[in-house]
Amino acid sequence: MAEPHGDTPAETEFPEVELAKSAIFLDFDGTLIDLADTPDGVDVPADLAGLLKGLNDATEGRLVVVTGRPIEAVDTFLGGYDGHVIGSHGAEERFEGNHTAHELAGSDTVARLGDMVEAFAATHEGLVPERKPTGVVLHFRQVPEQEPQVYSFLSALEQSHEGFELHHSKMAYELRPIGISKDDSIKRIMENERFAGRRPIFFGDDVTDEPALAWIAHQPDGIAAKVGSGETAANYRVHDPSGVRKILAGWIGE
């Protein structure tokens, strides 16, 4: 197993992987597809859903897409992929065909937060709000100089809405219910009898992926792959989403 490393640009060599003995967790934005200026502006390769289906078959149903997006959005981008999804950072889940969601999903509070963030964005050019079933995101990718205003506005909402907490991700801040995280969801799924004892593999690009990357890097034979540059607890690294897709396609012999 490779040693966890810091901010090295070098792409690391991946070990042989036996998919029938592995469980694969994949972040979506910035990992499987390139980031875009707006959440809707992403370019999804036409063969991505087929690639995921192939991986799901080869792992005997142990592929999980782990994303901050709502599951509904994943289905829009990946028509034809009907496997497991951890959505909204873990506030929603589709597992073995069953859809579950956090108790705050679709609540009046979430709707009100969405309204307030949209109103704020309407008076600040370049900010892009994104409603989620369990929270709301405010993207400042197009106007990075507005980060302080975005932060102070959402901090105020965090303080006035009990049960929600503020998270920083790439060029965005997000309000979501306390106690939700990708790593908690991944750990729970790894305890499922179908997953337990398999080699855990996770590809992620963002700070919100780091806790899961750190956990998987320390599992026996775990493969935690950081996508892109930057400090990481991962034990492998890939330069960009096209590199990730190439590795995954190689694993299923394409």
Sign (positive or negative) of CA dihedral 38, 33, 9, 89: positive
Beta strands in 140-196 (DSSP E): 164-169, 172-177
Residue 198 or 226 having the CB closest to Mg ion: 226
Yes or no: say if 65 and 26 are a contact pair by the CB < 8 Å rule. yes
Residue 29 or 183 having the CB closest to Mg ion: 29
For the CB of residue 28, give the shortest distance to Mg ion in the complex, in Å.
6
Of 40-59, binders to Mg ion (CB under 5 A) are: none
Q: Which stretch binds Mg ion (CB under 5 A): 26-34, 141-149, 176-184, 229-237?
A: 26-34
For the CB of residue 138, give the shortest distance to Mg ion in the complex, in Å.
17
For the CB of residue 165, give the shortest distance to Mg ion in the complex, in Å.
19
Asked if 29 is part of the footprint of Mg ion (rule: CB under 5 A), the reply reads: yes
Of 187-246, binders to Mg ion (CB under 5 A) are: 205-206
Yes or no: say if 129 and 118 are a contact pair by the CB < 8 Å rule. yes
Identify the residue among 17, 22, 24, 30 touching Mg ion (CB under 5 A).
30
What is the number of the residue whose Cβ is closest to Mg ion? 30
Query: Quick one: which of 250, 253, 186 has its CA closest to 219?
Result: 186
For the CB of residue 35, give the shortest distance to Mg ion in the complex, in Å.
8
Count residues binding Mg ion (CB under 5 A).
5
Q: Which stretch binds Mg ion (CB under 5 A): 30-38, 58-66, 126-134, 158-166?
A: 30-38
- Name the burial class of residue 66, with classes exposed (0-12), middle (13-18) and buried (19+) by CB atoms within 10 angstroms of its CB: buried
Q: Which stretch binds Mg ion (CB under 5 A): 21-29, 92-100, 180-188, 235-243?
A: 21-29
Residue 174 or 205 having the CB closest to Mg ion: 205
Beta strands in 27-132 (DSSP E): 63-66, 84-87, 92-95, 98-101, 128-132
Residue 92 or 205 having the CB closest to Mg ion: 205
Give dist(CA 85, CA 206) in Å, integer. Answer: 18
Give dist(CA 148, CA 157) in Å, integer. Answer: 14
Q: How many helices (H) and strands (E) does the chain have?
A: 7, 12
Question: Under the rule (CB under 5 A), what is the footprint of Mg ion?
Answer: 27, 29-30, 205-206
